[in-house]
Amino acid sequence: MSWLVGVLIILLGLMVSIGLHEIGHLVPAKIFGVKVTQYMVGFGPTLWSRHRGETEYGVKWLPFGGYIRMIGMLPPRPTDAPGTLRSVSTGPWQGLIENARDAAMEEVRPGDEDRVFYRKPWWQKVIVMSGGPAMNFVLAFVLFAVVMMGFGVAVEKSQISSVPQCVKTSAEIAKNPGAECTAADRPSPAAAAGLRPGDVLVSVAGRPVASWDAATRAIRSHGAGPLAIGITRDGRPMTVTANLIAQDRESLDEPGKIEKGVGYLGVSPVIVTERQGIGAVAAHMWDTTSLTAGALLRFPEKMVGVWNAAFSGHERDKNGPVGIVGVGRMGGEIVASSAPLESKVVIFINLLAVFNLAIGMFNLIPLLPLDGGHIAGGLWEGLKRGFARVTRRPAPAHVDIAKALPLTYAIALVMIVMAGLLAYADVFNPIRLLG
């Protein structure tokens, strides 16, 4: 039952995020006078709806997205020259384009000519279509701020909390996590150098270090060999020399990637929970956005990994893509875990923040049917009209994004296949958030 509650909570959070994304489109569309006939959260049959003015607001059964319906998204077919017969192509793609044009104009009534989307200035189109991703970014920032400024985050201090007496490999630790050191084990460089719990790291190789992360990077980059480490012990400054060894360690910048032969000292930091300021939230937002953008660039490669995990039994990449089914399972896993209630709340909020950031970034990809495709069309129209104005030429026609519909249908098909693959992998080889 607790697992099901977690699934419902996370799905509700996703539905709210999707609803706010669509509000990001709806509000500027109405401000600019575009006629919006529908605002829907979800797809499939309608679960509930109600009309307010000219717009129907509702919720559908399948929580896999949402949309607003604006009249005249596509421009009509170019007018044929007077005195000539209308030419109609029998090609399959041209037929799809013409059918889409007709569907876009079906809801245009007399008096709506200036309320169609395609006739709005290019900058208004860009604002309307950017509103959804912008709402996701704002929501992600607010959620990160709630966690970092309200609950606080774990911070590694420059003070040593523990010094292992020996060096054990990752395989040995995984096989027997509580194993004690024996005479056959190699002493850790930190223990051999005389470092103790409570010592504070202040310099590495004579250079000051302001944080544990800075000290760790300096130690790793040094590699194996003797290294001077400045510390304060009971308020007294002193320097010790540690003979570092080379070890394979997980990358600090790319989780899951192993760095070969980095310098290893063998100490652990004191970790405390501290509330952060707005500047730290902004920095975290920037770092997470950069990581998300990099992940999107490697998305095809990541999907190959999902395929291998789904059908070849490979281990699922914890930093790889996950679908709504997988996110729902994570929600169930969080509630069913033995973690303290506050930790569960923090994980839920962080999960929703990352989801909003990812969905905002994904929608900015400049391809239809994503928001980025419409944004690119609006920017291209603005560029053409600006060039015409500078060169004193007649204003060009509105950009006809209907010509990109064949590519749109192909991309939509690819997205459906990827969503199906993710759903299959999330069911049969899911990512274990707490595993």
In the chain the domains, ranked by start, together with CATH numbers, are 154-274 (2.30.42.10)
pLDDT digits (tens, 9 = 90+) for 114-167: 898 988 999 999 999 999 999 999 999 999 999 999 999 988 999 999 888 887
pLDDT over 90 at 169, yes or no:
no
pLDDT value at residue 173: 61
pTM for this structure? Answer: 0.80
- The mean-pLDDT minimum among 122-136, 254-268, 281-295 falls in 254-268
pLDDT at 88: 45
Instruction: Answer with the residue of higher pLDDT: 18 or 96.
Output: 18
Is residue 170 pLDDT above 90, yes or no? no
Q: Is the pLDDT of residue 89 over 60?
A: no
- Residue 102 reports pLDDT greater than 80: no
More confident of the two residues 52 and 183: 52
Per-residue pLDDT at 228:
94
At CA 374, angle to CA 372 and CA 376, rounded to 5?
A: 65
Residue 87 has pLDDT above 70, yes or no: no
Give me the catalytic one of 22, 106, 180, 254: 22
CB 115 within 8 A of CB 33: yes
Average pLDDT over residues 241-261: 83
The average confidence (pLDDT) of the chain is 85
Q: Is the pLDDT of residue 286 over 80?
A: yes
Question: Per mean pLDDT, which range of 54-63, 70-79, 226-235, 339-348 is the poorest?
Answer: 70-79
CB contact at 8 A, 431 and 330: yes
**pLDDT for 376:** 92
**Identity at 401, one-letter amino acid code:** I
Rg (CA), the chain: 28
Which class for 126: exposed (0-12), middle (13-18), buried (19 or more C-beta within 10 A)?
buried
Tell me what percent of the residues of the chain surpass a pLDDT of 90: 41
Catalytic site includes residue 274 = no
Q: Beta-carbon neighbour count of residue 79 at 10 Å?
A: 7
**Residue 364 CA: distances (Å) to CA of 287, 356, 374, 426:** 18, 13, 9, 25
| DSSP letter for each residue of 188-202 | PHHHHHT--TT-EEE
